[in-house]
Amino acid sequence: MTNDMKNPSDLRDTLICRVIDGEATGEDWQALRALADEDPSVWTELAVTQHQHEALSSIVDGAGASADGIEIPEPLTPGERFERRMAGLRAWGGWAAAAAVLLVWFTGKSVPEKTDTQPEQQAGILPTVAAADPSPESILDRYLDIGMQEGRVLGEMPRRVVLDTKPVPGGLEVTYLRQIVEREVVPRDRLFRLGRDEFGKAALIPDPDPLQVKVSY
């Protein structure tokens, strides 16, 4: 451990920066969770820092779009908007750069193979909970508990990012982002990186051997 990691405050800042930059190792996550066990505000600071990073990326992206708008542009296609947004993100921060290099939100989630044990397992977990308390919150809480036990779920960001609000009869409708930190072993045939096709457009390219890339989920 280096001198700059001996101070708890420095360690906290360093770990949060590594997560945001996509450089956090398993040991870093373990150290961060240990700090959060003593001070839950660690998760809040991480969420706020990530939100600020994304907001800054959006500002830079918007500034780049303004610079490109000397002439009145034709309406952008969804693909072009995605490419411009990714270009703005790539210019800021290792976390965004890592996400651009390796995208593991695949073209679709694989369908689990059916086994003789699956119906029994499912009947013992979610349906039982749903019968006792069918609310989405109770089912999600059960998923988080099981995920933590199995090591898939690392935690949930305590701060919810508000995306939109609008008045409705009796109150305010809030659309927000709820962030769950998870990990998963991804088959090599479902790994892609962001590249360009023969027309120079942004495209997903198979990347079955991304051994040198660190990605933060």
pLDDT tens, residue by residue, 50-77 = 776 676 665 555 545 544 554 545 555 5
**pLDDT confidence tier of residue 169, bands split at 50, 70 and 90:** very high
More confident residue, 208 or 72: 208
**114 token code pair:** 């059916």
Percentage above 70 pLDDT, the chain: 51
User: Residue 151 region, left (φ>0) first, then alpha (ψ -120 to 50), else beta?
Assistant: left
**pLDDT confidence tier of residue 83, bands split at 50, 70 and 90:** low
CA 21 – CA 1 distance, rounded (Å): 20
CA-based nearest residue to 63, from 46, 79, 85 = 85
CA-based nearest residue to 17, from 42, 49, 39, 48 = 49
- Neighbouring CB atoms inside 10 A of 18's CB total 20
**pLDDT confidence tier of residue 17, bands split at 50, 70 and 90:** confident
- Which of 174-178, 203-207, 210-214 bottoms out in mean pLDDT, i.e. has the lowest? 210-214
- Neighbouring CB atoms inside 10 A of 56's CB total 13
Q: Which residues of 87-117 are buried (b: 16+ CB within 10 A; e: fewer)?
A: ebbeebbebbebbbbbbbeeeeeeeeeeeee
Q: pTM of whole model > 0.85?
A: no
- Which of 48-52, 62-66, 121-125, 200-204 bottoms out in mean pLDDT, i.e. has the lowest? 121-125
